[in-house]
Chains A and B, each alone.
Chain A
Amino acid sequence: MMLKLSKDKIGELFQKIASDRTLYLPVDNNGQVNFGRWTPDAAVRLDQLKTVKSSKDFFFPQTENIVAFKRQGKDISIIEKRDANEPFVVFGVRGCDVRSLDILDRVFLCDPVDSFYKARRENGTIVSFACSEPEENCFCGVFGIDAADPLGDATIRVIGGDLYWDAKTDKGRALEESAGALFTQATALDSDAIKEHDERSREISGRLPLKDLDLDSFEESALLEKFNSPLWKELSQACVGCGTCTYVCPTCQCYDIQDFDTGHGIQRFRCWDSCMYSDFTLMAHGNNRKSQVERFRQRFMHKLIYYPANNDGIFSCVGCGRCVAKCPISMNIAKVIRALGGVSVSV
């Protein structure tokens, strides 16, 4: 059953949700919109289609302490110091970012389960946000994502002056119950407005410039053919080897674990890493990917061949378009798919 709330009451909804858990939503920090903690004076920006970083941070944070070691004389004590596991809500997550959690789940929740990630997934409630006006660098449709009616624990649509609420899971319904008094029941007239909204959104998605990216040839059987393609050299030559694409990507999942000498002990932490970096997976024997061509190839081979080969053919890209928007030199996965996809590349 769809519920409804006048848009001017949205502050009350946030207040209600935040009364017994932490609420994260798109917030403006000097012109840049990122997910941030809601406070009564936060500059909430639901009008922005995409946040710079994705909602990945709340489940797989950029840095997190894992364990600490302390030495006293000959004794070494191990101190487990986990962040408190508290319920939280991420509000306004677009369909692409919702899908990205499914992709991360397949990595972090398979054996051996990543207990840090698992705890956050269990504590987190996702309120997704239907896209009314997709942008030209969006291509989630290529991956079968319906931006007009995304998955999530609950979904909101903003149509005109109204917000529509659609709980989809038990977690979503529980959240709905706690904010119940604010909502009214949607009417048949509302259903028409929603139908119209979704159709319009899908119609726009259907004529986005990147909608026809062809992924057919990216399959396990083509692994060597793609790997050996001479095009990687050409595609990677502009890459400056920064980690922008990796860090704005909702599905990039690589991390490093390091020890930090605090002067009176050791703090072991993990942090995001980027396959674009020269010290990525550096081992005693040196680096197994010495050139930027190899590092660049790794990122796209992982997303388009290796990951799907291990995960029922699901690509590790959701078409959010963040890398398209943010790469310093405008190289991105769309260009890679365009160059390597479709026609088979002879070596």
Chain B
Amino acid sequence: MRRIRDMIRGRAGELLRDGTVNRVLGWTNGEFYYDPNPAIFETEKSLDSLVYNGFSAAMLSKYLIEATKKEGRVLVFLKPCDTYSFNHLLKEHKVNREKTYVIGIGCGGMLDIEKLRTLGAKGIESIDEEGENVVAHTLYGDKTFARRDALLEKCLSCKGKEHKVYDELAVADDLWEWETVNRFTKVGELEGMGPGERFSFWRGELSRCIRCNACRNACPVCSCLKCVFDNPRSGVQAKANADSFEENMFHIIRAFHVAGRCSDCGECSRVCPQNIPLHLLNRKFIKDINAFYGEYQAGAVAEGKSPLTEYATGDVEPSIVYERGGA
């Protein structure tokens, strides 16, 4: 991905210089190799700190909601998965396409620093990405890991390397390829459980929730101007709840709210400080939507209706809940 970084640094500089764009939305380097953060670059000089590596996982499309409210045009780098979110934001008129310039960038899979730590990397001073391996140079010696073992959950079930929307591409032919997993396998396992077992699975996972709202705030389709849970007048403002079950309901309600809009970008699970597999809730909805209304991928295109915003006489009846509930 270093080649792509060099390409996009150069290209971003050109586009700023010739006035095609007024600013650039990318990632800037941090204290460590693994902590680049999203940033807006306004000068060619500042692009020296633009980074793109295995830890540039934070998606940029949602930042465009604010960035495209400003004067001028913004250049954004979108990984293939991020183009789905971008398309969906266009569909909901949250982002002005005219004010964006999209460079679709190739991706060799994003890494999970927590996974590296769990695998035994302690005191990580620097990291080298070397093809199928990741080498962590630590305070306690060097450690080599298989890149696939350190991939983010969302990348293990990657939707593919195709960019769904772009103005130009910056890809490399030597990007690492990996074997992906079926994203519905775990959902199938949960469906196979009895209601009691499934209930305790979720009670266990959600028991770690600290209601930091990172899942909601990072979600590209959670783009309400004011969330009902932040609104003191809504009657359901929820900095705290009556009991832990009510707490759990937050996640279920959120999953309902993004159903049919969620592209399965996986940001919710990536950002969760307690590593709750929130993506499984969304995937359950996606799996059901596919089964009830035919295959549908949110964000594949920026036009048209989605299954839950369209009515057809052959649509499934609400009674399906009782037939499939398994109670």
Within 8 A of B (CB), among A282-341: 282, 324-326, 328-332, 334-335, 338
- Do the beta carbons of B123 and A135 come within 8 Å of each other? yes
Among B40, B62, B214, contact of A242 (Cβ-Cβ < 8 Å): B214
Kindly state the separation between the CA atoms of A274 and B217 in the bound complex, as whole angstroms. Answer: 14
- Do the beta carbons of B40 and A30 come within 8 Å of each other? no
A30-B208, A133-B122, A241-B217 known; A331 vs B37 contact (CB < 8 Å): yes
- For residue A262, which residue of chain B has the nearest CB? B242
- For residue B66, which residue of chain A has the nearest CB? A237
Among B204, B232, B240, B271, contact of A30 (Cβ-Cβ < 8 Å): B204
- Do the beta carbons of A134 and B239 come within 8 Å of each other? no
A329-B58, A335-B31 known; A237 vs B214 contact (CB < 8 Å): no
Among B40, B217, B241, B274, contact of A237 (Cβ-Cβ < 8 Å): B40
- Do the beta carbons of A243 and B212 come within 8 Å of each other? yes
Chain A residues whose CB sits within 8 angstroms of the CB of B62 once the complex forms: 240
Question: Which of A10-18, A117-125, A182-190, A265-273 makes up part of the contact surface?
Answer: A265-273
Rounded to whole Å, the gap between the CB of B214 and the closest CB of chain A is 4
Chain B residues whose CB sits within 8 angstroms of the CB of A331 once the complex forms: 37
Within 8 A of A (CB), among B140-162: 140
Within 8 A of A (CB), among B22-64: 30-32, 35-40, 55, 58, 62-63
- For residue B114, which residue of chain A has the nearest CB? A325
A30-B208, A136-B123, A279-B232 known; A328 vs B213 contact (CB < 8 Å): no
Query: Is B290 located at the chain interface by the 8 A CB criterion?
Result: no
- Do the beta carbons of B237 and A53 come within 8 Å of each other? no
- Do the beta carbons of B274 and A32 come within 8 Å of each other? yes
Kindly state the separation between the CA atoms of A272 and B210 in the bound complex, as whole angstroms. Answer: 10
Chain A residues whose CB sits within 8 angstroms of the CB of B55 once the complex forms: 330
A248-B273, A272-B239, A330-B37 known; A240 vs B218 contact (CB < 8 Å): yes
Rounded to whole Å, the gap between the CB of A80 and the closest CB of chain B is 19
Query: Is B139 located at the chain interface by the 8 A CB criterion?
Result: yes
* Interface SS of A by simple majority: loop
Chain A residues whose CB sits within 8 angstroms of the CB of B324 once the complex forms: none
Chain B residues whose CB sits within 8 angstroms of the CB of A326 once the complex forms: 273
Kindly state the separation between the CA atoms of A269 and B239 in the bound complex, as whole angstroms. Answer: 11
Chain A residues whose CB sits within 8 angstroms of the CB of B232 once the complex forms: 279, 282
- Do the beta carbons of A31 and B118 come within 8 Å of each other? yes
- Do the beta carbons of B205 and A30 come within 8 Å of each other? yes
Query: Is A100 located at the chain interface by the 8 A CB criterion?
Result: no
Query: Is A256 located at the chain interface by the 8 A CB criterion?
Result: yes
Query: Is B180 located at the chain interface by the 8 A CB criterion?
Result: no
Chain A residues whose CB sits within 8 angstroms of the CB of B124 once the complex forms: 135-136
One digit per residue, 1 when the CB lies within 8 angstroms of any chain A CB and 0 when it does not, for chain B 250-272 equals 00000000000000000000110
Counting residue pairs across A and B whose Cβ atoms lie within 8 Å, the total is 137
Kindly state the separation between the CA atoms of A137 and B37 in the bound complex, as whole angstroms. Answer: 16
Among B122, B212, B241, contact of A135 (Cβ-Cβ < 8 Å): B122
- Do the beta carbons of B139 and A204 come within 8 Å of each other? yes
Among B37, B211, B231, contact of A329 (Cβ-Cβ < 8 Å): B37
Query: Is B125 located at the chain interface by the 8 A CB criterion?
Result: yes
- Do the beta carbons of B242 and A260 come within 8 Å of each other? yes
One digit per residue, 1 when the CB lies within 8 angstroms of any chain B CB and 0 when it does not, for chain A 237-250 equals 11011111011100
Within 8 A of A (CB), among B284-311: none
A133-B140, A328-B218 known; A278 vs B226 contact (CB < 8 Å): yes
Query: Is B96 located at the chain interface by the 8 A CB criterion?
Result: no
Rounded to whole Å, the gap between the CB of A327 and the closest CB of chain B is 8
Chain A residues whose CB sits within 8 angstroms of the CB of B130 once the complex forms: none
- Do the beta carbons of A273 and B123 come within 8 Å of each other? no
A256-B239, A328-B218 known; A238 vs B123 contact (CB < 8 Å): no
Kindly state the separation between the CA atoms of A272 and B213 in the bound complex, as whole angstroms. Answer: 13
Chain B residues whose CB sits within 8 angstroms of the CB of A335 once the complex forms: 30-31, 37
Could you jot down 10 A-B contacts, CB within 8 Å?
Answer: A133-B140, A135-B123, A136-B123, A207-B139, A240-B218, A243-B212, A258-B237, A324-B35, A325-B113, A328-B218
Other A-B contacts than A52-B274, A134-B123, A136-B138, 7 sampled, CB-CB below 8 A, are A53-B210, A133-B123, A209-B125, A243-B213, A325-B113, A328-B218, A335-B37
Interface residues of A (CB under 8 A from B): 29-32, 34, 49, 52-53, 62-63, 133-137, 204, 207-210, 234, 237-238, 240-244, 246-248, 256, 258, 260, 262, 267, 269, 271-274, 277-279, 282, 324-326, 328-332, 334-335, 338
Q: What are the 8 closest A-B residue pairs judged by CB atoms, nearest first?
A: A271-B240, A328-B271, A330-B35, A242-B214, A63-B240, A240-B217, A238-B38, A242-B217
